Amino acid sequence: MKRLSVLFTALAIIIASASCNADGGVQPSMDNAVIIFFSATGNTERVAQELAAITEAHIAEIEPAEPYSDTDLDYRDDSSRASLENSNPAARPAILPLSEDISGYDTIFLGFPIWFGDMPKIIYTFLDEYDLSGKTIAPFCTSGSSGISRAEENIRAMESNATVLAGARISNRESLKS
């Protein structure tokens, strides 16, 4: 039964991205979609895997060249790695090459946790390093309470040649139910 709730949240992502397009009209083609995600503690990964199971889309993880330790992730510590990356607009933590060639996909489902009200800087690295021009980006996130709107705005600002759909947010309590 618990798996059902993750299933529903994954379906909610598809429905949100299909119906809440901010630019109007364009809908993601599941036939040619790939799911790309970053997850430090497994919540976003669980949702991404469920989305992949439902859609049968390929999936690839954005992996940091240097993995995040628990200490790195301590958002209450102003000098933790995550805090320092967050407070430095130029921070672009290095990532490993994706396991999937995303150049041929039309739609990118892009999943991440909310950090400090925004997407983690590693997502900025991904957006800088990969050419998403002409593609449709469907963002989704997990978080404790924050919404996805700031991340969505920032993706839109960075990817002016892509169509960025309205994002979907899943509570980390929901994503834990598997």
Ligand X SMILES: Cc1cc2nc3c(=O)[nH]c(=O)nc-3n(C[C@H](O)[C@H](O)[C@H](O)COP(=O)(O)O)c2cc1C
Please report the DSSP string for the chain in residue order.
Answer: -HHHHHHHHHHHHHHHHHH--TTSS----GGGEEEEE--SSSHHHHHHHHHHHHH--EEEE--BSSPPPTTTT-TT-TTSHHHHHHH-TT----BPPPSS--TT-SEEEEEEE-BTTB--HHHHHHHHHS--TT-EEEEEEEESS--SHHHHHHHHHH-TTSEEPPPEEEEHHHHH--
Single out the segment in contact with ligand X by CB under 6 A; choices: 56-64, 93-101, 107-115, 159-167: 107-115
Query: Does 32 interact with ligand X (rule: CB under 6 A)?
Result: no
Instruction: Name beta bridge partners: 140.
Output: 111, 168
Single out the segment in contact with ligand X by CB under 6 A; choices: 28-36, 59-67, 110-118, 156-164: 110-118
Query: Does 172 interact with ligand X (rule: CB under 6 A)?
Result: yes
Query: Does 55 interact with ligand X (rule: CB under 6 A)?
Result: no
Q: How far apart are CA 88 and CA 75, in angstroms?
A: 14
Single out the segment in contact with ligand X by CB under 6 A; choices: 22-30, 94-102, 144-152, 157-165: 144-152
Query: Does 49 interact with ligand X (rule: CB under 6 A)?
Result: no
Query: Does 35 interact with ligand X (rule: CB under 6 A)?
Result: no
Residue 75 or 101: the one with the smaller Cβ distance to ligand X is 75
* Cβ at position 114, least distance to ligand X in Å: 4
Work out which of 50, 143, 156, 163 binds ligand X, going by CB under 6 A.
143
* Cβ at position 155, least distance to ligand X in Å: 16
Q: Which residues touch 25 (CB under 8 Å, ≥6 apart)?
A: none
Residue 46 or 163: the one with the smaller Cβ distance to ligand X is 46
Query: Does 93 interact with ligand X (rule: CB under 6 A)?
Result: no
Q: Which residues bind ligand X (CB under 6 A)?
A: 39-45, 73, 75, 82, 113-117, 142-146, 172, 175
